[in-house]
């Protein structure tokens, strides 16, 4: 395991009764902002919980920050932060008491814990509300408190499970900006779990797409965006057959879709060969829709797998 590798899993599986939540997940993830993307029920939260030892692993193995998961729980969690999806708080405490207490549980002495709690509450943009009981918080404040408690002990890696759930667009933007800064500015590895492609695209450099407990894709955002299947949908007013024949002569598979678009697999990095054909035919297209990049395709595939299973 290289020093840059933070998460390493080998054939990791988690089974709940008859349901297989994780199915042979093998990953080698290096430091950075990592997006864990997938539809609801894909296994993102289970993967996080297994890595944090909140759930026992059924089969396989996992290492987090170079330590064996399941053996060195306290030591691992001292260096890890977690912001759960569900509302988890310790009732009866004000926000600042709660974050201070969480810092103490992570091993900070009281004075340092109190000071850092206030710093982190400032960091997440919480004002005087910190002195109110946490049960009285709005969803946005609860999300901020969750983020503050996850980073209060200065972890090396922080797992955030759907941190923008229930927030308005402004709140979402603020939280994502904070999350982004954790890696870009402060060097804290972030694992952001979300079912929203745009959230992950905005913040993360590495993407892991999960569906039905299996990893579909694990690559950098840059690679995934650059990787396109040489295909496009062409919208023409008529003369579909002429275009189809011209494509077949060049051995490009093409298909007339139910919406009248012609899907052409031209197998090239750019649309130029397709445009040349249209020029030869003197055919003016109404629209040319390039194929989605690999990230979008994989995400759509994950959604389809999930829907098919449902």
Partner 1 sequence: MPLHDMHYQHWEGVHVGIWARRWVIAKNGLAACLQNKVLRNVVVLCWGAGLGMVAALFIVSQLLVPDSMVVKWVEHLNPALQTFAQFLTSWLHDHPEISVRATQNVFFFYCCTLLTPAGIFALGVAMPLLITRDLAGGAIVIYSSKAVTRGDYLLGKFCTAFGLLGLTCLGPLCAAWFVGNLLAPDWRFFWHARAALGNILIYGLSSMCILSALALGVSAISSKEKTTPFLWFMWWVLGGFIQPIAANTKPWLRHLSFGYNLDQIRLATFRLGNDVKAAQDNIPILGNMLNGIPRKTMQTLNNPTLWGAVAALLLMLAGAAWVIRRRVRPE
Give the shortest CB-191-to-partner 1 separation in angstroms: 13
Site for partner 1 in 29-58 (CB under 8 A): 49, 52-55
CB neighbour list of residue 20: distance below 8 Å, 6 or more residues apart: 13, 14, 213
Give the shortest CB-201-to-partner 1 separation in angstroms: 19
Site for partner 1 in 151-210 (CB under 8 A): 151, 153-154, 170, 173-174, 177-178, 181-182, 185-186
Which range in 3-11, 109-117, 267-275, 286-294 contacts partner 1 by CB under 8 A?
109-117
Binding mask 69-108 for partner 1 (x = CB under 8 A): ----xxx-xx-xxx-x-xxxxxxx--------xx-xxxxx
Binding mask 237-276 for partner 1 (x = CB under 8 A): ----------------------------------------
> What's the rounded Cα separation, in Å, for the pair 289 and 1?
43
Residue 222 interacts with partner 1 (CB under 8 A)?
A: no
Q: Do residues 33 and 190 touch, judged by C-beta distance below 8 A?
A: yes
- Binding-site member from 94, 112, 283, 288 for partner 1 (CB under 8 A): 112
Neighbour count for residue 157 (Cβ, 10 Å): 23
Give the shortest CB-97-to-partner 1 separation in angstroms: 9
Give the shortest CB-79-to-partner 1 separation in angstroms: 9
Q: Do residues 59 and 13 touch, judged by C-beta distance below 8 A?
A: yes
Give the shortest CB-238-to-partner 1 separation in angstroms: 51
Residue 220 tokens, joined: 């950098």
Burial of 25 (0-12, 13-18, 19+ CB in 10 A): buried
Using the Cα atoms of residue 55, residue 56, residue 57 and residue 63 in order, give the sign of their dihedral: positive
For 205, list phi and psi in degrees, rounded to 5. -105, -30
CB neighbour list of residue 142: distance below 8 Å, 6 or more residues apart: 87, 89, 134
Neighbour count for residue 273 (Cβ, 10 Å): 15
Footprint of partner 1 (CB under 8 A): 49, 52-55, 73-75, 77-78, 80-82, 84, 86-92, 101-102, 104-109, 112, 116, 119-120, 122-123, 125, 135, 149, 151, 153-154, 170, 173-174, 177-178, 181-182, 185-186
């Amino acid at each position: 395991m290289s020093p840059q590798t933070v998460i390493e899993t080998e054939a990791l599986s988690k089974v709940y009764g008859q349901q297989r939540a994780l199915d042979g997940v093998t990953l080698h993830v290096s430091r950075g902002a990592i997006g864990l993307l997938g539809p609801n029920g894909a296994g993102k939260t289970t993967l996080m919980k297994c890595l944090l030892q909140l759930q026992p692993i059924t089969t396989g193995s996992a290492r987090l920050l170079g330590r064996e998961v399941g053996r060195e729980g306290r030591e691992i969690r001292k260096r890890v932060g977690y912001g759960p999806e569900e509302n988890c708080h310790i009732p009866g405490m004000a926000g600042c008491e709660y974050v201070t207490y969480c810092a103490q549980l992570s091993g900070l002495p009281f004075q340092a814990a109190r000071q850092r709690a206030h710093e982190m509450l400032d960091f997440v943009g919480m004002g005087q509300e910190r002195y109110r009981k946490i049960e009285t918080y709005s969803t946005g404040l609860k999300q901020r408190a969750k983020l503050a408690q996850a980073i209060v002990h200065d972890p090396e890696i922080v797992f955030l499970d759907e941190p923008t759930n229930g927030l308005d667009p402004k709140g979402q933007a603020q939280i994502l900006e904070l999350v982004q800064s954790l890696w870009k500015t402060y060097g804290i590895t972030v694992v952001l779990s979300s079912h929203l492609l745009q959230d992950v695209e905005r913040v993360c450099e590495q993407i892991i797409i999960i569906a039905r407990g299996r990893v579909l894709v694990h690559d950098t955002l840059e690679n995934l965006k650059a990787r396109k299947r040489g295909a496009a949908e062409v919208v023409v007013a008529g003369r579909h057959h002429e275009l189809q024949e011209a494509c077949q002569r060049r051995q490009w598979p093409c298909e007339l879709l139910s919406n009248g678009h012609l899907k052409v697999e031209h197998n090239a990095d750019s649309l130029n060969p397709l445009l040349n054909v249209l020029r030869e035919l003197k055919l003016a297209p109404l629209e040319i829709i390039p194929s989605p990049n690999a990230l979008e395709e994989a995400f759509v595939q994950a959604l389809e797998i999930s829907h098919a299973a449902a």
